[in-house]
A = this chain, B = another copy of it.
Amino acid sequence: MKACIFDGRSVRLDPSHAEPAAAPGEVRVRVLLAGVCRTDLEIVKGYMGFTGVLGHEFVGVALEGRHAGRRVVGEINCVCGKCDLCAAGLPTHCRRRTVLGILGRDGAFAEQLILPEANLHAVPDSVPDRQAVFAELLAAAIQVGRQVEMRPGSKVIVLGDGRLGQLVAQVLAASGLVPRVVGKAKAKLAILEAMGIDAVHADAVRPAKDADVVVECTGTAAGLGMALAFVRPRGTVVLKSTVADTAGLNLAPIVIDEISVVGSRCGPMADAVAMLARGQIQTEPLVSAEYPLDRAPEAIEAAARPDSIKVLIRP
């Protein structure tokens, strides 16, 4: 089958990649549409030391098992169910986990992928592929509200107007909060404004240490420093960007202002599918381009450009 792989040095299309075989409990999924995520961009720079088929955002058709023939999205963490963290109800942190397209498991930029049957969620017919493919990212956005208490009237700032910041802002707004997005791309801010979400350019706002919660979705190391300038003493920063390079970052405000920095990764995918089915999330304005799988390496390059939001790949 065709697959887009990273060999540790470069990204390329493998036109005759071996078709994956499902282990017991696993099923094959024919990929209908996949999305390029920031994590993919980090992986092709060497992050995680991953090699293999890239990609973890997808919608597909289950080829076997109880969902056979139906459209599905899937949880990307494949877990042992036995370690201390699985036993403690934290399966996404399973010590022996593999992660689709990220850790020890081939991913979604291919004609087929393999996941445990338990990881799959059926997609209602009312949700088109170009919405369903956002389920994994939307789940990560929903997770913010699960980890941090926010109340009507809470002053919430979302830093970053990219794919994740856009969805976090939509989720918060859907829950009755009034978030303000601080970004750097006029076109992306305009998308938010068109939805009635307060969106301002970073150059036009002065951080005043007065936000109850700052959700950091910049994807950059500098984002945490910026968040610490916006959050009030004893406030909370939800950190979404995996920051490996902290050079120049001053973390003293965490202690001086007694800030809580809460790391946040994956989220509840069933809830993401439900929000999409209820029509609560607009995804179409976020699609920058769609590439055929043959041109997947080009799609990944396009996703890295500052003006792109979500780039899709169709096998």
A contact set with B: CB distance below 8 Å: 84-85, 90, 93, 147, 210, 224, 232-234, 239-244, 246-265
Pick the 9 closest A-B CB pairs, nearest first.
Answer: A93-B233, A254-B263, A255-B263, A246-B246, A261-B261, A242-B252, A246-B249, A243-B251, A242-B255
With A84-B210, A246-B247 in contact, is A265–B256 under 8 Å at CB?
Answer: yes
- Tell me if A250 and B261 are in contact (CB < 8 A): no
> Cα distance A257–B259 when bound, in Å?
19
Contacts of A85 in B (CB 8 A): 232-233
Contacts of A263 in B (CB 8 A): 253-261
- Between-chain CB contacts (< 8 Å), 19 pairs: A85-B232, A85-B233, A93-B234, A243-B250, A243-B252, A244-B250, A244-B252, A246-B246, A246-B247, A246-B251, A253-B263, A255-B263, A255-B264, A255-B265, A257-B263, A259-B262, A260-B261, A260-B263, A261-B261
Contacts of A234 in B (CB 8 A): 90, 93
The smallest C-beta distance from A311 to any residue of chain B, in angstroms, reads 22
- Tell me if B233 and A90 are in contact (CB < 8 A): yes
> Cα distance A240–B251 when bound, in Å?
11
> Cα distance A255–B242 when bound, in Å?
6
The smallest C-beta distance from A188 to any residue of chain B, in angstroms, reads 22
Closest B residue, CB atoms, query A85: B233
- Tell me if A240 and B255 are in contact (CB < 8 A): yes
The smallest C-beta distance from A206 to any residue of chain B, in angstroms, reads 15
- Tell me if B246 and A93 are in contact (CB < 8 A): no
8 further A-B pairs in the complex, CB-CB below 8 A; given A85-B233, A242-B256, A249-B249:
A93-B257, A239-B255, A244-B250, A247-B248, A255-B265, A259-B262, A260-B261, A260-B262
The smallest C-beta distance from A129 to any residue of chain B, in angstroms, reads 28
> Cα distance A242–B250 when bound, in Å?
9
- Tell me if A251 and B244 are in contact (CB < 8 A): yes
Contacts of A258 in B (CB 8 A): 93, 147, 262-265
> Cα distance A84–B253 when bound, in Å?
18
Contacts of A248 in B (CB 8 A): 246-247
Closest B residue, CB atoms, query A232: B85
Closest B residue, CB atoms, query A250: B244
Contacts of A243 in B (CB 8 A): 250-252, 254-255
Closest B residue, CB atoms, query A224: B251
- Tell me if A255 and B232 are in contact (CB < 8 A): no
Contacts of A90 in B (CB 8 A): 233-234
Contacts of A240 in B (CB 8 A): 255
> Cα distance A255–B223 when bound, in Å?
13
